[in-house]
Amino acid sequence: MGISYQIGNVGPGSVDRAAARLQRILNDYHRTETTLIESIEAEEHLTRRNDPSDPRYSMLARSMRGRLDNLRVTIAKLEAELAARYQGLSSAA
């Protein structure tokens, strides 16, 4: 996914559009987070192993847990950026 930068005046409308785009991305990431959680739970149920420290824990579930952790970090950063954008909008009004 590429980031689009626009050269020119940055007004409230462009900040509004950027915030809306960021919100759509966050919504997608939250859906992905839910899907990963469900997939991990299904794999743990299938293998009857739910302790990641168990040497017999599923490699698939372990991999998905790593992806979930990374996704949550990304979500937190984007939510902070979105909050900063909304803070900027409210102080500009």
Copy the structure tokens of residue 40: 């991990």
Cβ atoms of 40 and 64 within 8 Å: the answer is: yes
pLDDT digits (tens, 9 = 90+) for 58-73: 999 999 999 999 999 9
Cβ atoms of 40 and 71 within 8 Å: the answer is: no
Look at residue 49 and tell me whether its pLDDT is greater than 90.
yes
43 falls in which pLDDT band (50, 70, 90)?
Answer: very high
* pTM exceeds cut of 0.95: no
Return the residue matching tokens 């979105």.
Answer: 82
Mean pLDDT for the chain? Answer: 86
Measured CA distances, 6 to 14, 15, 16, 17, 61 (Å): 9, 11, 14, 12, 40
